Structure 1
């Protein structure tokens, strides 16, 4: 039979102060899942791991060819006009012909490709980042194991405390019953005052 643990989530946990605490019953598996999901240590370790992954991708991308492309569009509603001598076109001397050499619009495109042949810092940096990523993976595993161990320890300690509290309450109920019996016996002359006092002292 699966053991369950009753946990009271008080107002300090949810930011309010109700008159009575709400009670929710969770199993050990649920506690472990919540611990893995909400642990600040695990979240930090995973963020560090993501940082190594991003740095590795950035370093690898720098080793690939870099392609840059651009397009430029120009529009000139009024084109510049130049005058050419008319005799070039069989006209009379002293005449000029207006000529426009351009178009109203122009498209120009550029493409550049760059490739690093050798970059010492780059080729040394990638193995270092890989090593850091591997260490980060180990740290994540160790952190998860520690969180699971600590959560399970607290879970079973709480179960023990709950069982101890039940035992104390059961003993207290027995003492209350014994005190009532002793008081009745004292009233009927079957007990002495010392017996009643002894039970009262045990209750306190």
Structure 2
């Protein structure tokens, strides 16, 4: 009995430890660099996965179209039970009756059966020829759509990723500011209690301290929202924790000259899509023009027929009668009321409209690249200015703090310096984010964001 209780205790302990390990594993967050986050999104984002499925669908549709040109083989079995045989009318004069009269008669047997196989082969069809060519271009169109979805997803994930790490860096600065101001606040409060500082100085510092704490709480909540957006873009489970391993290392000296001269319109997925669409529209015009040619198909049938008064179709002693034939069908549209002509004109107009769309995309691409290039240059200039402002604001705050601690500076001067420092830090991080986003937009505009 004692051994049994001991064994049970051991089992409960093992189960508890296993459960604890599983819980710990679930609580551990997965860490991602930016490339890893993009790679994860490409494997888990529903929108991107649908784009890949569309590509697979296009591939199967191409194979389906190709199957039209292969032999079509069908087998059939047909069994009929005539509850009432069909009636035929024979001229009465065949049986000695007067002319113009008819005698109803019934021919056939109660049970009839047919079993056979038929084969058909398309020999010539312009619709099939151009359909095969078009199906290959549709597959290419779906590949380009996947590339476009990939670029859109990479841009979305990158922006969301940068937003998270920038806010986390802001938290570090806010923590440092809070720690520094808290010390000044507590020292001033102690001085006030000893009669060496006025109450208004304590209250002014307390207001500033509370503002910083509130700012931190807002930023923490903002990080939570940013992480939720990032998880959504990645296709990551929203309830699971996530960690980002990249840090915000901005080297001011690594400025890139994002010139409009680097624009290669052929690399943009939307331009490639319209070019592929143009090929399809041109093919449609040719298909309609060649549609005046005939369609030729061959066929053959081989079957057996049985006729019985009793339902003994499977009786091997009774004979089935063979039927075999081959043939060909030639279809030629002689006159269709000029319908095909007007279809051709409509197809030509669609092709011309698509050419206008292509020219519009060329102008849009140049405009987007120009805007992104200017935005990046402006963001870089703003980053330089805000970085300098943050350094100056930090210096002003340090001086104001030393003066205050030494009793030669006022409390108001310190609070003003703290406010300016916080504002400069916020502007700096906004400038960093603007520059990163402008670079992503530029790379997307010239079609080099993803390969």
Deviation string, structure 1 residues 64-122 (Cα, Å, up to 9, x no partner): 2345689xxxxxxxxxxxxxxxxxxxxxxxxxxxxxxxxxxxxxxx7765432112322
Secondary structure of the residue that 2:31 maps to in structure 1? strand
Q: TM-score, normalised by structure 1?
A: 0.63
Question: In the TM superposition, what is the alpha-carbon distance from 1:160 to its structure 2 partner?
Answer: 0.4
Q: Find the partner of 1:168 among 170, 174, 187.
A: 174
Distance of 1:193 and 1:112 partners within structure 2: 104
Q: Which consecutive residues of structure 2, in runs of 5 or more, have no partner in the other structure? A: 1-25, 77-115, 212-451
Distance of 1:139 and 1:149 partners within structure 2: 15
Deviation string, structure 1 residues 133-176 (Cα, Å, up to 9, x no partner): 11111110011111011101110111001111222222122222
Distance of 1:160 and 1:23 partners within structure 2: 22
Question: In the TM superposition, what is the alpha-carbon distance from 1:45 to its structure 2 partner?
Answer: 1.3
- 1:26 equivalenced with 2:56 (yes/no): no
Q: Within 5 Å, which residues of 2 pair with 1:37-52?
A: 37-52=43-58
C-alpha contact (below 8 Å) 2:41/2:153 kept by paired residues: yes
C-alpha contact (below 8 Å) 2:75/2:118 kept by paired residues: yes
Distance of 2:125 and 2:190 partners within structure 1: 97
Q: Which consecutive residues of structure 1, in runs of 5 or more, have no partner in the other structure? A: 1-20, 71-109
Q: Find the partner of 2:193 among 187, 190, 201.
A: 187
Give the CA RMSD over aligned residues.
2.6
Distance of 2:118 and 2:204 partners within structure 1: 99
Distance of 1:200 and 1:42 partners within structure 2: 51
Secondary structure of the residue that 1:190 maps to in structure 2? coil
Question: Could you say which residue in structure 2 is the equivalent of 1:199?
Answer: 205
Q: Find the partner of 1:136 among 142, 147, 156.
A: 142
Identify, as 1 or 2, the structure richer in helix: 2
The runs of 4+ residues in structure 1 deviating greater than 3 Å are 65-70, 110-114
Secondary structure of the residue that 1:116 maps to in structure 2? strand
Aligned residue pairs, count: 147
- 1:152 equivalenced with 2:158 (yes/no): yes
Secondary structure of the residue that 1:64 maps to in structure 2? coil
Secondary structure of the residue that 1:117 maps to in structure 2? strand
Kindly tell me: are residues 120 and 40 of structure 1, through their superposed partners in 2, closer, same or farther at Cα, counting changes over 3 Å?
A: same
Distance of 2:202 and 2:27 partners within structure 1: 40
Q: TM-score, normalised by structure 2?
A: 0.30
